[in-house]
Amino acid sequence: MKSKIILSVILTGLALIFMIQNFSVINIRLLFWSFSISGSLLMFSLFLTGFILGWVIHSYSIHSRRNVKD
């Protein structure tokens, strides 16, 4: 358990360093829309989205396993 926390802290730190180094503006085109956003803001939003999705999927899988065993 402790190794997972240490690994999470290291990966989060590396992600933060990567985001800090990428402050340039990025143009994004998606179908008919086009907008500009800071690279670090885009990285942060993708990181946060991945974290939340991973947490939700993990919680759902644990909940499903408990219901199968009961």
Residue 36: CB partners within 8 Å, gap ≥ 6? 25, 26, 27, 28
Q: What are phi and psi of 2, to 5 degrees?
A: -65, -35
Q: Which of 3-7, 16-20, 35-39 has the lowest mean pLDDT?
A: 16-20
Query: Residue 11 carries which side chain, given as an amino acid letter?
Result: L
User: Is the pLDDT score of 47 beyond 70?
Assistant: yes
User: Is the pLDDT score of 70 beyond 80?
Assistant: no
Q: What are phi and psi of 23, to 5 degrees?
A: -90, -5
Write down the domain spans for the chain.
2-69
